[in-house]
Structure 1
Amino acid sequence: MGFETIQYEVADRVATITFNRPDRLNALSPEMIRELRQAYADAEADPDVWILVVTGNGRAFCAGADVTEIPADGRVIYDEPYLTTYPQWEAPQEGTPPFRTMTKPVLAAVNGLCCGAGLDWVTTGDIVIASDRAEFFDPHVSIGLVSGREVVRLARVLPTNIAMRMALMGKHERMPAKRAYELGLVSEVVEHDRLLERAHEIAATIARNAPLAVRGTRLAIRQGLDVPLREAEIMAEAFRERVVRTDDAKEGPRAFVEKRTPDWKCQ
């Protein structure tokens, strides 16, 4: 399908999703949220996609929700009647990838300003890199709103006092890319003009590995974070047992012995 607020491209086993509302600093509108959900579903269902890269056009990655399109009552907009579907009873996800249920890794390439709901890709992305022009902050309290899932996720990624400082300072203090790297919020900072190139280099490296093993490993880490360590270990072993029965699990050792590049079939 065609998209109006994002760009979606698939090449070399990578689906690249680019926020494309630069005049609004890529702020999330209801239409953009709908299109992102469709793009995530398309990528997850496409056998030619092994990894997703998410970035933005213009000087911002994502400036959070578009306040000009928030209803007067402050409710999150859904296509269905109010409270008729389960997601409406959960914390609103807005543009967040379905990181708890999808299998394919998401790499966020933060190209510029990243704040509010834009932080969701930073805290739920599997790998996050940033341009040296990137800046991070959480403006909720500065516009009279409680910072909800955004800061709760930040507090799982950053030291509590750092997350608290970001949340309570609001729009009045921004974290530069270098500081975000020092704190582990992003794993790499690159020159701005090389950001997308570097993102695709990382994606290409991941795509050289066995895709089902990558997905099982991702799920073991991601789902293991929500349970005690012993249960996480057992869950991870269950994923290992499932993948070891696949053709790819046989192809990997065989290719190693034969000193050749594995021919992954994703089966």
Structure 2
Amino acid sequence: MPFDTIEYRVDGHTATITLNRPDALNALSPFMITELRAAYDESERDERVWTIVITGNGRAFCTGADVKAIPGDGKVINERPYLSTYEQWEAPQEGTPPFRTMTKPVLAAINGLCCGAGLDWVTTGDIVIASERAQFFDPHVSIGLVAGREMVRLARVLPRTVALRVALTGKHERMSAQRAYELGMITEIVAHDRLLERAHEIADIVNSNAPLAVRGTRLAILKGLDVPLHEAEMLAESFRERVTRTEDALEGPKAFVEKRLPKWQCR
């Protein structure tokens, strides 16, 4: 599938989505958002794909919404009549992967500047690594806008006072990759030139595991965060029970006993 503002490729069991508007610091235009949604849908439907890697070209990962595409009334350009769809009544997702409904894990590889809506990949990604050149901030209040969805999500990832500092200092303070690592916002700092290589190494590790078990585990953890502990435990058990009925659940123990690598069939 050809794209203009992103790159999409599948290698083995890994799909790589690369934001590709480097001259605009990978700012999200309406057309780019449409292409991202198409890529997410393609990777979720493609049986070859078990893990999704997202990164950016150029010196920025993503600098948020393209302000040139926001009219004077502040309404995001949409090809459909204003408030005519359910999606428009929801919190705007912009480039966010549909993490609540998709099953496959997302690994975000932050290659540079990451701010505004770019932070959504950090807060909703399943595994997040970053180049040593990465920097994080939120400019909303500096351009007269409320720091909304992005900061609400960040406040679930960072200590409250740290998230508030990011939100209220706006464009005037930037968080380094090292500080983000110390705070648990990212899981690894990588030499810049090795970022994508390392992302694929991690994806290969994930893909060496049973794909349905990976998806069930991911869903159990994410959905369990929104409910009390006991309900989360019961929900996780329901996912575990479903996976025990798959062929891969039989293959894993069999391969262990026979001292060989399992042959996962994703069924």
TM range (shorter): over 0.9
Where structure 1 has 5 or more consecutive residues not aligned to the other structure, the ranges are: none
The equivalent residue for 1:95 is: 95
The equivalent residue for 2:41 is: 41
Quote the Cα distance in structure 2 between the aligned partners of 1:79 and 1:223.
32
Summarize deviations over 1:162-195 as a string: whole Å, max 9, x none. Answer: 0000000000000000000000000000100010
Q: 4+ residue stretches of structure 1 with deviation over 2 A?
A: 76-80
Is the 1:140–1:170 Cα contact (8 Å) retained in structure 2? yes
Mean Cα deviation higher: 222-231 or 175-184: 222-231
What amino acid maps onto 2:23 in structure 1? Answer: D
Helix, strand or coil at the partner of 1:222: helix
Helix, strand or coil at the partner of 1:263: coil
Mean Cα deviation higher: 164-173 or 76-85: 76-85
The equivalent residue for 2:109 is: 109
CA shift for structure 1 position 76: 2.3
Quote the Cα distance in structure 2 between the aligned partners of 1:49 and 1:116.
29
Quote the Cα distance in structure 1 between the aligned partners of 2:221 and 2:135.
27
What amino acid maps onto 1:140 in structure 2? Answer: H
Q: With structure 2 as the length reference, what TM-score do the two structures score?
A: 0.99
Please tell me the root mean square deviation across aligned C-alpha atoms, in Å. 0.6
Whether 1:16 aligns to 2:16 is: yes
Quote the Cα distance in structure 1 between the aligned partners of 2:262 and 2:3.
36
Whether 1:237 aligns to 2:237 is: yes
What amino acid maps onto 1:97 in structure 2? Answer: P
Is the 1:76–1:92 Cα contact (8 Å) retained in structure 2? no
CA shift for structure 1 position 86: 1.0
Quote the Cα distance in structure 2 between the aligned partners of 1:141 and 1:83.
25
CA shift for structure 1 position 71: 1.8
Summarize deviations over 1:191-221 as a string: whole Å, max 9, x none. Answer: 0001000000000000000000000000001
CA shift for structure 1 position 83: 1.4
Quote the Cα distance in structure 2 between the aligned partners of 1:84 and 1:28.
22
Helix, strand or coil at the partner of 2:61: strand
CA shift for structure 1 position 79: 2.8
What does 1:125-204 correspond to in 2, within 5 Å?
125-204=125-204
CA shift for structure 1 position 75: 1.2
CA shift for structure 1 position 74: 1.0
CA shift for structure 1 position 62: 0.2
Mean Cα deviation higher: 67-76 or 176-185: 67-76
CA shift for structure 1 position 80: 2.2
Quote the Cα distance in structure 2 between the aligned partners of 1:72 and 1:12.
45
Is the 2:69–2:77 Cα contact (8 Å) retained in structure 1? no
- Identity of aligned pairs, percent? 74
Where structure 2 has 5 or more consecutive residues not aligned to the other structure, the ranges are: none
What does 1:22-37 correspond to in 2, within 5 Å?
22-37=22-37
Is the 2:141–2:147 Cα contact (8 Å) retained in structure 1? yes
Whether 1:216 aligns to 2:216 is: yes
Is the 1:123–1:153 Cα contact (8 Å) retained in structure 2? yes
Quote the Cα distance in structure 2 between the aligned partners of 1:244 and 1:15.
27
Q: With structure 1 as the length reference, what TM-score do the two structures score?
A: 0.99
What amino acid maps onto 2:36 in structure 1? Answer: L
Quote the Cα distance in structure 1 between the aligned partners of 2:105 and 2:78.
26
Mean Cα deviation higher: 251-260 or 73-82: 73-82
